Amino acid sequence: MEYRDYYQILGVQRTASADELKTAYRRLARKYHPDVSKEANAEERFKEVQEAYEVLKDPEKRAAYDQLGSEWKSGQQFRPPPDWGSGFEFGGGAPRPGRRSGRARTGAATGGNEETFGEEGFSDFFSSLFGGGSPFGATGRHGGRDHHARIDIDLEQAFHGTTSTLELKRPELKSDGTLEVRTHAVRVTIPPGVTEGQLIRLAGQGEAAADGGRAGDLYLEAHILPHRLYQLDGRDITLTLPVAPWEAALGASVKVPTLGGPVEMQVPTGAQSGQKLRLRGRGLPGKPPGDQYVQLKVVLPPATSPEAKALYGEMRSQLHFNPRADFPGRGEA
């Protein structure tokens, strides 16, 4: 695994006071918080910052981390020392049973999580030094904690339902007494109709209980990825549909794509650009299902050929149409 320089991540000196650490953390947390940030890789950066602060804000963890020495550089290959954690009051304590942390993938999408007090989504470096199973792991409690992770889902997958592979990471004790973070994959079915921010419960997939109690649950928070054509608002979907001027003026039956497949839709006579039509129940499934809104966009044919020019000329002479009729002076040149 790779060494992580927590001081560098927070942008502070190794001698930084608790207040300086807190200020640095708060500033970076505001900048990269996934709920507020527009920065690229915000979630990844936020996780790093959170992990660094999780260690450095705790005097014991910080002292243990500092004992690794200041010669290490971020990214260097690293193994925890065999006597890791000794010399601290909990040193030599029995490692805790495996804890799991979530990292969700559907296709190219990855998830993280937002657990402030746990190691979900934190690096292997963190898990092996400070995670469950390490001497710094949480003390035994009845029943396991819930775990939380984010999962990115395509709009089509949200509509039809999907199967996604999650990688759950769990530190395990090896025969020589050292810890190893093992990853195991689980396949999860996600039912149709999941909306932005909705929770998916995986019962019993959270933290294992230390004492034979009930394991915690794993909650996946769904995030729907932007779509090329459709825009999502709750369960409703909006599509912008280009139409020809004669389709808008005379009315027409047009084929409209929806997530459930194309449907025929009647464009009313005298429709205008920007007008919205509703296809009831064609949004995300649910009780009740969402609707699909179709926003018309009148697209003018180019007047490049002599025939097109002649037609436009005929409209000019025949229609007596002044789009600026409401302007002072009636907009005439």
The DSSP secondary structure of 188-200, one letter per residue, reads EEE-TT--TT-EE
Site string for other proteins, 108-127 (x = CB under 8 A): ------x-x-----------
Looking at the DSSP assignment, which residues form a beta bridge with residue 74?
A: none
Closest separation between CB of residue 225 and other proteins, Å? Answer: 14
Indicate the DSSP class of residue 134: S
- Please tell me whether residue 30 binds other proteins under the rule CB under 8 A: yes
The type of residue at 307 is: E
Q: Which is nearer to other proteins, 93 or 227 (CB)?
A: 227
- Nearest-approach distance from CB 4 to other proteins, in angstroms: 19
Q: Across the strands, what pairs with 169?
A: 101, 183
Chain-centroid distance, C-alpha 233: 16
Distance separating alpha carbons of residues 166 and 111, to the nearest angstrom: 9
Applying CB under 8 A, among 197, 245, 251, 313 the residue interacting with other proteins is: 197
Among 19, 35, 71, 326, binds other proteins (CB under 8 A): 35
Q: Kindly state the smallest distance separating residue 240's Cβ from other proteins, in Å.
A: 4
> If binding is defined by CB under 8 A, does position 167 make contact with other proteins?
yes
Paired strand residues for 108: none
Verify binding: residue 303, other proteins, rule CB under 8 A.
Answer: no
Query: Could you count the other beta carbons within 10 Å of the beta carbon of residue 198?
Result: 16
Residue whose CB is less far from other proteins, 87 or 274: 274
Alpha-carbon separation of residue 119 from 46, 169, 184, 258 (angstroms): 13, 10, 16, 41
Residues of this chain that interact with other proteins (CB under 8 A) are: 26, 29-30, 33, 35-36, 46, 50, 114, 116, 146, 148, 163, 167, 182-191, 193-194, 196-203, 205, 219-221, 231, 233, 238, 240, 242, 273-274, 286-287, 295, 297, 299
